[in-house]
Amino acid sequence: MKKYKIALIKGDGIGPEIIDEAVKVLDAVASRYDFDFDYEELLMGGIAYDITGDPLPQETVTKSLNSDAVLFGAIGGEKWDSLPREKRPESGLLRFRKELGVYANLRPAVVYDELVNASSLKPEVVKGVDLMVVRELIGGIYFGEPKGRDDFKGYNTMVYTRPEIERIAHQAFKIAMNRSKKVCSVDKANVLDVSQLWRDVVTEVAQEYPEVELSHMYVDNAAMQLIRDPRQFDVILTGNIFGDILSDEASMLSGSIGLLPSASTGDKVGVYEPIHGSAPDIAGQGIANPIATISSASMMLRYELGEKEAADRIDNAIKQALAEGYRTKDLAAFDAKEVCSTSEMGSIIANYAVK
Residues 320, 233 share a domain:
no
Where does the pLDDT of residue 242 fall: very low under 50, low under 70, confident under 90, or very high at 90 and above?
Answer: very high
Model-wide pTM > 0.85: yes
- Please check whether residue 266 lies inside any domain of the structure: no
Written in H, E and C, the secondary structure of the chain is CEEEEEEEEEECCCHHHHHHHHHHHHHHHHCCCCEEEEEEECCCCHHHHHHHCCCCCHHHHHHHHCCCEEEEEECCCHHHCCCCHHHCHHHHHHHHHHHHCCCEEEEEEECCHHHHHHCCCCHHHHCCCEEEEEEECCCHHHCCCCCEECCCCEECCCCCCHHHHHHHHHHHHHHHHCCCCEEEEEECCCCCHHHHHHHHHHHHHHCCCCCCEEEEEEHHHHHHHHHHCHHHCCEEEECHHHHHHHHHHHHHHHCCHHHCEEEEECCCCCEEEECCCCCHHHCCCCCCCCHHHHHHHHHHHHHHCCCHHHHHHHHHHHHHHHHCCEECHHHCCCCCCEECCHHHHHHHHHHHHHC
Q: Which residue among the candidates 5, 39, 68, 142 is catalytic per the annotation?
A: 142
- Please check whether residue 265 lies inside any domain of the structure: no
Model confidence pLDDT, tens digit, residues 179-216: 999 999 999 999 999 999 999 999 999 999 999 999 99
Q: Which of 277, 287, 281 is nearest to 327 (CA)?
A: 287
Look up 244 and say whether it is catalytic. yes
Q: Which residue among the candidates 188, 209, 303, 326 is catalytic per the annotation?
A: 188
Residues 240, 129 share a domain:
yes
CATH number of the domain encompassing residue 338: 3.40.718.10
Look up 142 and say whether it is catalytic. yes
Percentage with pLDDT > 70 across the chain? 100
Instruction: State the maximum Cα–Cα separation within the chain, in Å, rounded to a whole number.
Output: 63
Look up 234 and say whether it is catalytic. no
Task: Answer whether 144's CB lies under 8 Å from 160's CB.
Answer: no
Residues 280, 215 share a domain:
no
Model confidence pLDDT, tens digit, residues 253-304: 987 788 989 999 998 999 999 999 999 999 999 999 999 999 999 999 999 9
> What angle separates helix 240-251 from helix 219-228, to the nearest 10 degrees?
10
- Please check whether residue 271 lies inside any domain of the structure: no
Residues 232, 126 share a domain:
yes
Model confidence pLDDT, tens digit, residues 17-52: 999 999 999 999 999 998 999 999 999 999 999 999
Q: Which residue among the candidates 113, 220, 229, 281 is catalytic per the annotation?
A: 220
129 is in which domain, residue-wise?
A: 120-254
Task: Answer whether 159's CB lies under 8 Å from 125's CB.
Answer: no
Residues 331, 308 share a domain:
yes
Residues 143, 214 share a domain:
yes
Q: What is the pLDDT averaged over residues 233-258?
A: 92
Q: Which residue among the candidates 248, 312, 319, 335 is catalytic per the annotation?
A: 248
Residues 129, 105 share a domain:
no
- Please check whether residue 260 lies inside any domain of the structure: no
Residues 232, 130 share a domain:
yes
Residues 92, 152 share a domain:
no
- Please check whether residue 164 lies inside any domain of the structure: yes
Q: Which of 81, 148, 105, 135 is nearest to 272 (CA)?
A: 105
Count: domains in the chain:
2
- Please check whether residue 176 lies inside any domain of the structure: yes
Look up 188 and say whether it is catalytic. yes
Look up 312 and say whether it is catalytic. no
- Please check whether residue 32 lies inside any domain of the structure: yes
- Please check whether residue 115 lies inside any domain of the structure: no
Residues 65, 2 share a domain:
yes
How many beta carbons lie within 10 A of that of residue 242, not counting itself?
26
Model confidence pLDDT, tens digit, residues 65-89: 999 999 999 999 999 999 999 999 9
Residue 128: phi, psi to the nearest 5? Answer: 90, 0
β-sheet bridge partners, residue 185? 216, 237
Q: What is the pLDDT of residue 75?
A: 97
Residues 124, 106 share a domain:
no
Task: Answer whether 186's CB lies under 8 Å from 217's CB.
Answer: yes
Residues 248, 145 share a domain:
yes
Q: Which residue among the candidates 244, 272, 303, 315 is catalytic per the annotation?
A: 244
Task: Answer whether 6's CB lies under 8 Å from 69's CB.
Answer: yes
